[in-house]
A and B are shown apart, each in its own frame.
Chain A
Amino acid sequence: MIEFKGVAKSFGRTVALDGVDITFATGKITGLFGPNGAGKSTSLKLITGLNRPDRGEVMIDGKDPLDSKVEVAYLPEIDHLYPWMNIRQAASFVSSFYGDWDEKRYHELLPFLNLDEEMKLGKISKGQRAKTKLLLCTSRRSKYLLLDEPLSGIDILTREQIIQTLIRDFREGEQSIIISTHEIAEVEGLVDEVVFLDRGRVRLQGDAEQLREERGMSLVDIMKEAFRYAN
């Protein structure tokens, strides 16, 4: 379980998170939704320990991210891969850092994602780079998988492939996925739980099926409504 308790984080005068309480349950796929600038990326970086909170605390299974030995795989929004590497080199680079690297899974995922080890990162399409990022993340048997806008700017077929990969590899009960996106419609059927952030605050959080049941609306419409009331 990952817990945020009264977490605040600012960058200069910009408030990214303004005292949020969030619980990300183990064994669930949580959608971290919200418009640009809502605080989604900051939240994920706080879990990785790349950012530190100004106030409050972030805990992974009861420990500070920097003390935690729990494996957390993180797919950043930016293009972080070296363009001169091919996929094989990028994979061996990543695997050298992480003990939870699963070579077998990596070789299974390559053809499933229509990727080839010889492909050079600087020369492949944006969609192929997005799939490579996903490949490198999901080839690890990490307990927590954090994905920052994995579908942004990706064509519809590649999006479906990415979603299918996540479902295929999701280990029920033991793994937790947090997926940040402003394209809620794409992941309606994928998420168990939703957290809607808006300008650094939590507007709504809950179980996706329960929200549909109670409100008779899709997550997209529920989020739109929450956003309207907030303004």
Chain B
Amino acid sequence: MEFDLARPIYQQIIDHYKKMMIRGELRQGDKILSQREYAEKEKTNPNTVQRAYREMESMKLVETVRGQGTFVCISPEQLTMIRHEMAGAVMESCVVEMKALGFTDGEIRERLDGALQAKKEAVNDD
């Protein structure tokens, strides 16, 4: 995983795990890497990884069982919430950037439909 070094790394670790949960790559009860394993794998400061894991624990995304490891413990309601939250953030940054380029609401809608259509055609062509 490549970090964006202009943003706090611990947040990106949390986002990375959230995405894996949303996509179903990580499910309830799955064991995730230990803090040390994660730090070594991503060549990241162990204190930063510890902070990310602690926040995920307090958000009830994961729980650490002493001597056994850290496990995904997200509820379906929470998963839905995070899914909406992350989608909201992506849409917002898209809208903000389009507006910054001077596009009107109508044009943005049109472009979005166009982009979706183009994507659909690209998939059909495969």
Size bracket of the B interface: 10 to 19
Expressed in whole angstroms, the Cα–Cα distance for A189 and B6 within the complex equals: 11
B3 touches A213 (CB 8 A): no
Cross-chain pair count, CB within 8 angstroms: 59
> For window 1-57 of chain B, which residues contact chain A by CB distance below 8 Å?
3, 5-10, 36, 39-40, 42-48, 50-51
6 CB-based A-B contacts, threshold 8 Å? A167-B39, A167-B44, A167-B45, A168-B40, A212-B9, A219-B5
B9 touches A189 (CB 8 A): yes
Apart from A164-B40, A190-B45, A209-B51, what are 20 other A-B pairs with CB-CB below 8 Å? Answer: A29-B47, A167-B43, A167-B45, A168-B40, A170-B46, A172-B46, A189-B5, A189-B42, A189-B44, A192-B47, A192-B48, A208-B45, A209-B9, A212-B5, A212-B6, A212-B9, A213-B7, A218-B6, A219-B5, A221-B6
Complex contacts, B42 vs chain A, CB 8 Å: 189
Expressed in whole angstroms, the Cα–Cα distance for A27 and B47 within the complex equals: 9
Question: How far, in Å, is A17 (CB) from chain B's closest CB?
Answer: 27
Expressed in whole angstroms, the Cα–Cα distance for A171 and B8 within the complex equals: 22
User: A interface vs B, CB < 8 Å?
Assistant: 27-29, 160, 163-164, 167-168, 170, 172, 188-192, 208-210, 212-213, 216-221
User: B interface vs A, CB < 8 Å?
Assistant: 3, 5-10, 36, 39-40, 42-48, 50-51
B43 touches A189 (CB 8 A): yes
B45 touches A29 (CB 8 A): yes
Question: How far, in Å, is B35 (CB) from chain A's closest CB?
Answer: 9
